[in-house]
Amino acid sequence: MNSVDYTLSKIEQALQDEHMRSFMHQSQNLKIVHRCLDGLGVNYTESEPTKLKLYCKVLDRFPKFSDNFSKTFLLSDEERALFYEFCLNASDCIMDRSTGLAGINLAIKKNFITGKVTRSVYIKKSPKKSVVLSFTEDGYFYENYHYVFNRLSVWSLSKAFGIPAHNQALEISLKDKSAFATVYPMFSFSKILKPSKMSQPFEDLFFELQGKNPWEIENYIFSLIYGRNNYLTPITKGYKISKKERKMYFGAFSYKHSSFKSFLK
């Protein structure tokens, strides 16, 4: 099997996982009652994809989660209690993108190496800091994400991670005994009402990053994700401190149409 076939098969298999498909359906349902943006990210080395992440960004302080959601995304009474308590304790600036992640962010991740599925909720707990509560078959755990806006710090950290020069912020996380940095876009949309008008600056940023030191596998991933869904837009890229792993993010700039629409056919 060649690299293209292998890459596509791993991603397509993950999209057929029952937990991943349930999440895609729930994301579509959340769009009916809330302003939501959803999408996906792919982690990969130069030779193979390693993880697939689906996310749904709910732009509300405390969403109206359905009973069906709580029974499929949250699999026990303990998880439900932890989840709802976690959601109640958010920063006053939770809806402000200029201080880091906005809204209540739900995600599910499939690890291709271990086969494990992780369900997570990301919430900003204080300016420039988000906390992640994750559930796995082994229990639950917390992680911290930090947002760096200082230009000198961004430049220094970007250089350490091997990130091409950019004018945005950084999202930094420590996990799996390593450090990760994702370019965090800082575009202002105060005068733009339609989310469909937001895609162009994100595309420009993505291709600016992609234009420097690209890996061949990134073309395969881009073709599969971007080529199969009319609503998807490339958003940004992430980098591991070892420079041996990266990630791509794609999303749908629509409060009506889901990123997952074509994957559920």
Tens place of pLDDT per residue across the chain (265 aa): 447 678 878 888 898 999 999 999 999 999 999 999 999 999 999 989 999 999 999 998 888 888 888 889 999 999 999 999 999 889 999 999 999 999 999 999 999 999 999 999 999 999 999 999 999 999 999 999 999 999 999 999 999 999 999 999 999 999 888 999 999 999 876 655 566 677 888 999 999 999 999 999 998 888 878 766 777 889 999 999 999 999 999 998 888 889 898 888 7
Provide the pLDDT for residue 159.
97
Alpha-carbon distance of 28 to 205, in angstroms, equals 27
CA angle 235, 241, 242 (to 5 degrees): 120
Domain spans of the chain, in order of start: 3-264
**246: which 2 tokens?**
């990266």
Closest-CA residue to 144 (of 136, 132, 134, 157): 132
State residue 143 phi and psi, 5-degree precision: -140, 155
Provide the pLDDT for residue 1.
44
Alpha-carbon distance of 10 to 15, in angstroms, equals 9
State the residue for tokens 């193979």.
48
Provide the pLDDT for residue 192.
56
